[in-house]
Amino acid sequence: MIPVQEQPEPTDFAQKVRKPGMAFLQQVNHPTNWENREYWRNALPALYQAYAGICAYSAHWIPNDTGVATVDHFIPKSEVPHLAYEWSNYRLTSLKLNGRKGSYQDVLDPFKLKPNWFTLDFPSLLIKPNPKLLAHQKEQVIATIKRLKLNDDDTCVQARQHWVLFFCAGCSFEFLKRHAPFIALELQRQNLVEMIASIMKI
Whole-number mean pLDDT of the chain? Answer: 95
> pTM higher than 0.85, yes or no?
yes
Mean local confidence (pLDDT), 138-145: 98
Hey, where are the domains in the chain?
13-101, 118-199
Please determine, for residue 66, whether its predicted confidence score (pLDDT) is greater than 70. Answer: no
Confidence class for position 155, pLDDT limits 50, 70, 90: confident
Q: Positive or negative CA dihedral for 1, 112, 177, 70?
A: positive
How many residues are present in the chain? 202
Q: Give the three-class secondary structure for 105.
A: coil
Q: In angstroms, rounded to a whole number, what is the distance separating the alpha carbons of residues 64 and 48?
A: 9
Q: In angstroms, rounded to a whole number, what is the distance separating the alpha carbons of residues 134 and 187?
A: 23
- In one-letter notation, the amino acid at residue 185 is L
Mean local confidence (pLDDT), 84-99: 96
Q: In angstroms, rounded to a whole number, what is the distance separating the alpha carbons of residues 68 and 85?
A: 21
Percent of the chain past pLDDT 90, that is, above it, reads 92
Mean local confidence (pLDDT), 133-137: 97
Q: What pLDDT is recorded for position 64?
A: 75
> pLDDT digit string (tens) for 29-54?
899 999 999 999 999 999 999 999 99
> pLDDT digit string (tens) for 94-124?
999 999 999 999 999 999 999 999 999 999 9
Q: What pLDDT is recorded for position 202?
A: 64
Please determine, for residue 154, whether its predicted confidence score (pLDDT) is greater than 90. Answer: no
